[in-house]
Copies of this chain bind each other. A is one copy, B any other.
Amino acid sequence: MKNSAPNRPSLDDFRKQIINGNRVVLAQAITLVESQRVEDIQIANQLVEALLPHTGKSMRIAITGVPGVGKSTFIETFGKYLTAQTKKIAVLAIDPSSYKTKGSILGDKTRMEELAKDPLAFIRPTATGATLGGVADRTREAILLCEAAGFEIVIVETVGVGQSEVAVRNLVDFFLLLMLAGAGDELQGIKKGIMEMADAIVITKADGDNVKPANQAKADYQHALHLFSENTAGWRPRVITSSALENKGIEETWTLIQDYFNVIHSNNSFKELRKQQNLVWFHDSIQQHVRQHLLESVKVKTHIQNLEKQIAENRILPSRAAQLIIQDFFQT
């Protein structure tokens, strides 16, 4: 397929430049995978596929937490700590609310200012506006592109208030949840199910008067995680306290993450995890395509609305309504 867009590298140029670590081209490539245009999607697929042999080598880490928890500060401090050790890190920031607020992440230019200037770091907000499935797909491909460009640690940042964390959980190896001390009430901001996905919790802002409540919160969460954790990969989630202000808990976080990867590499669950995630991706994609085909059928769309009304009024059995939709769809 010809790539006819002006000012855009050819597929092969794209591939080579990304492998060379050219971050301008990397940014262009991420824009390409984010595009909804049919031609772009085809080229993006070809590009990511051409880069596949160069992917998979990074530590994929999700970092989440509600607004106000100090996510940017933590990621900046943590990121600087890593680049000081000559690690190349990429930060992909997802904010599903940004399509409403016109970019709460994009708009906030002062975020991670220091890290943004770091030659070993690459920061990229994800343009959203589509479904969560879409966000996940695009983030997945952005991770692969960053890996092909040689980033050793890819951090996916989410805002910790919605369903995007569940989608992101399937894209990463390690899930880190940031929490504030003070316990109890602020948790209302964390959606059910997010906490128990965590491989670790970091209690932020554990400095000054906050040290004592932070330690209390640490004990509380450690206890709660103990009750709830599934412990499948031979890993028991841990809680640590940190202060970006006093540079506390940053090294500990990195040690913990390395411990985690050591564990999952040694018991083979890393390989299994990645494989399972790819199979989930495959089957999710199939479902997504079929659903799209189904919902794009105008006839079916009207039919679904009518039936939903009848269901709400208890006039038809939902399973029979579904049969009607299917008959309709496979006749067209």
Contact = CB atoms under 8 A, between A and B. Distances in A.
Interface of A: 45, 48-49, 52-53, 56, 137, 141, 183-184, 187-188, 191-193, 195-196, 220-221, 223-224, 226-231, 275, 278-279, 281-291, 293-294, 307-308, 311-312, 314-323, 325-326, 329-330
A144 B229 CA distance: 35
A316 B224 contact: no
Given A188-B231, A290-B290, A330-B293, A285 B52 contact: no
Given A223-B224, A282-B311, A48 B317 contact: yes
A227 to B, nearest CB: 5
Contacts of A137: 319
A318 B285 contact: yes
Contacts of A45: 317, 319-320, 323
Given A45-B317, A52-B317, A228-B192, A287 B279 contact: no
B228 A293 contact: no
Question: Which DSSP category, helix, strand, loop or mixed, fits chain A's interface?
Answer: helix
Interface centre among A52, A312, A330 (most CB of B within 10 A): A312
A318 B48 contact: no
A18 to B, nearest CB: 15
Given A193-B193, A196-B192, A311 B279 contact: yes
